[in-house]
Amino acid sequence: MNVTGQNLRIPGPTPCPPQVLEATARAMINHRGPEFRDLILPITEKMKQVFMTRNRLYILTASGTGALEAGVVNTLSPGDKVLAVTVGNFGDRFADMAQAHGADVTRLEFEWGTAADPGVVARALGEHRDLKAVLVTHNETSTGVTNDLESIVRVVREGSDALLLVDAISSLGCVPLPVDEWDCDVVCTASQKGLMVPPGLSFVSLNERAWQAREKARMPRYYFDLPAAQRYLERAQTPWTPNVPLFYGLDVALDMMLEEGMDAVFRRHARLGDLTRRSVADLGLELLAEEAHASNTVTAVKVPEGVDGGRLSELLRTEHSVVVAGGQGKLSGKIFRVGHMGWVSEEDIREAVRAIETALPQVGFKPPRDSRAGREKVS
C-alpha cells in the first residue's frame, strides 16, 4: 500500500519507500560544488554494484528513453546496419529510435507474449552481415516477457562483431543481469522501476568496446553526449544541471538494495512474480506470456472475453485504490498489466489480487469451472 492510499501496481513509476521520498525533498545544493561530489561519486560506485559491472556508467537527467538514445547516438553512425530484436512495444520503440537517428534497422519480431528465440537471432545474424549493433529488450514491459539475454549475448558474440545494446529499464535491479559476466556492451535503465526512485534519472553503462565505438559514432548528439558526461564526471559533475532531488533519493534507495543484498532482491522478485502469476491464474484468468519466459517484474493478464478492460481498471482504481496498467500498442484493451517490481511486498500483491477477484464479476466475468475463483476466495 502506497502512502497515497493507492496500491500502485503499474510497471513504473513504482511506489517509493518513504525514506526515499523524504530524501528527495532535501534542499538544493551547488551541483558544481563538494556537496554534489559527495553524491555523484558514491552513487556511481553503488550503481555499478547493482549493474554488476566495472564499466563506465553515466547518470542522465532524463527518463529511460533518454538513456536508450544516449546508448544509440554515442555508438552508431547514420547508415549503420542494426538488428532490432523486438518482442513488444518497447522493443519497437528502441528500433524506432535507432531508425529516427538514421540507422539502417532490420526488425526481428517475435510474437507478443513470446520471448526472442536465440536460435532465430543466430540465423538472422548469419543473414545480415556487417551489423554494427543488435538492440534487445531484456524485459519487455508491454507483454511481461523476460528475454533470455544471456543466450542472446552468446549468439551475438558468436555470430557477429556487432555491439549489443540492452534496454534493461524494467529488469535491472529486479532480475539478475550481471553486465560484465554476460559481456553486455551497452546497458540502459531508469530510476522509476526496480530502483524504487521517482522517474527522471536514467543510466547507461558502456564497456570498453562500446566506449571505443564512440570515436567513430557520427550520430549528432549534444544533450546525450557521453564523452561530455565523462569529462564532467572526472570533476564529479554532470555537463548539464542534474536532477539533484533524485540523486538524494537514489542514494537512499541504493543503500536499501545493497543492504538487502542483490541476490535477496532477485529472490524476492522471483517469489512475487510467481505469486502474481499463480494468483491471477487461480482467478481463472489467462496470462499473456509463456510461463518459461514470464517476467518477474510485470505480469500481463488477458482481458477475458466479454469484459471491458478499461472498465475493470477503472473499477479497481476507484473502488479498490488498486492501479493497474492497460495494454500498449496492439494489445490496447486486450490485456491489463500488474507491476511487481521495486518496493513491493507479498501483501501488495495479495491485496491487488483480492481487488481483481472482487471487481471481475462486476464487469461480467464468469470464471471457468475449474478455476479457484469459482471455489474459494484468495486468502
Instruction: Compute how many residues bind a copy of itself; rule: CB under 8 A.
Output: 60
Smallest distance from a copy of itself to CB 102, Å: 6
CA 201, CA 212: separation in Å to the nearest integer? 25
| Amino acid type, 15 | P
Among 52, 58, 64, 269, binds a copy of itself (CB under 8 A): 64
| Amino acid type, 109 | E
Q: Between 114 and 238, name the residue whose CB sits nearer to a copy of itself.
A: 238
- Helix (H, G, I), strand (E, B), or coil: what is residue 198? coil
Q: From residue 334 to residue 363, what is the string marking binding to a copy of itself with x (rule CB under 8 A)?
A: ------------------------------
Q: Between 182 and 247, name the residue whose CB sits nearer to a copy of itself.
A: 247
Q: From residue 19 to residue 38, what is the string marking binding to a copy of itself with x (rule CB under 8 A)?
A: --xx-xxxxxxxxxx-----
CB atoms within 10 A of CB 54: 11
Q: Candidates 205-213, 229-237, 244-252, 259-267 — which segment interacts with a copy of itself by CB under 8 A?
A: 244-252
Kindly give the residue spans of alpha helices, DSSP state H, lying in the chain: 18-24, 34-51, 64-73, 89-100, 118-127, 149-159, 179-182, 208-213, 226-233, 244-260, 262-282, 309-320, 346-362
Is residue 91 a contact point for a copy of itself (CB under 8 A)?
Answer: no
Query: Residue with C-alpha cell 570515436?
Result: 215
Smallest distance from a copy of itself to CB 29, Å: 7
DSSP state of 292: G
Is residue 297 a contact point for a copy of itself (CB under 8 A)?
Answer: no
Q: Between 231 and 267, name the residue whose CB sits nearer to a copy of itself.
A: 231
**Residue in 178, 128, 182, 176 with CA at minimum distance from that of residue 151:** 182
Q: From residue 94 to residue 133, what is the string marking binding to a copy of itself with x (rule CB under 8 A)?
A: --xx--xxx-------------------------------
Q: From residue 150 to residue 189, what is the string marking binding to a copy of itself with x (rule CB under 8 A)?
A: ----------------------------------------
**Residue in 41, 38, 2 with CA at minimum distance from that of residue 20:** 2
Is residue 89 a contact point for a copy of itself (CB under 8 A)?
Answer: no
C-alpha grid cell for residue 73? 547516438
CA 63, CA 234: separation in Å to the nearest integer? 23
Among 212, 241, 332, 345, binds a copy of itself (CB under 8 A): 241
Query: Residue with C-alpha cell 520503440?
Result: 93
CA 70, CA 136: separation in Å to the nearest integer? 15
Kindly give the residue spans of alpha helices, DSSP state H, lying in 214-345: 226-233, 244-260, 262-282, 309-320
Q: Between 159 and 326, name the residue whose CB sits nearer to a copy of itself.
A: 326
CB contact at 8 A, 211 and 33: no
Among 47, 50, 51, 69, binds a copy of itself (CB under 8 A): 69
- Helices and strands of the chain, counted as H and E runs: 13, 14
Among 109, 223, 282, 366, binds a copy of itself (CB under 8 A): 223
Smallest distance from a copy of itself to CB 105, Å: 13
CB contact at 8 A, 197 and 191: yes
Q: Candidates 147-155, 214-222, 283-291, 363-371 — which segment interacts with a copy of itself by CB under 8 A?
A: 214-222
Is residue 148 a contact point for a copy of itself (CB under 8 A)?
Answer: no
CA 212, CA 18: separation in Å to the nearest integer? 41
User: Which parts of this chain interact with a copy of itself (CB under 8 A)?
Assistant: 2-4, 6, 8, 10, 12-16, 21-22, 24-33, 61-66, 69, 78, 96-97, 100-102, 190, 192, 198-200, 219-225, 239-246, 317, 323, 325-326
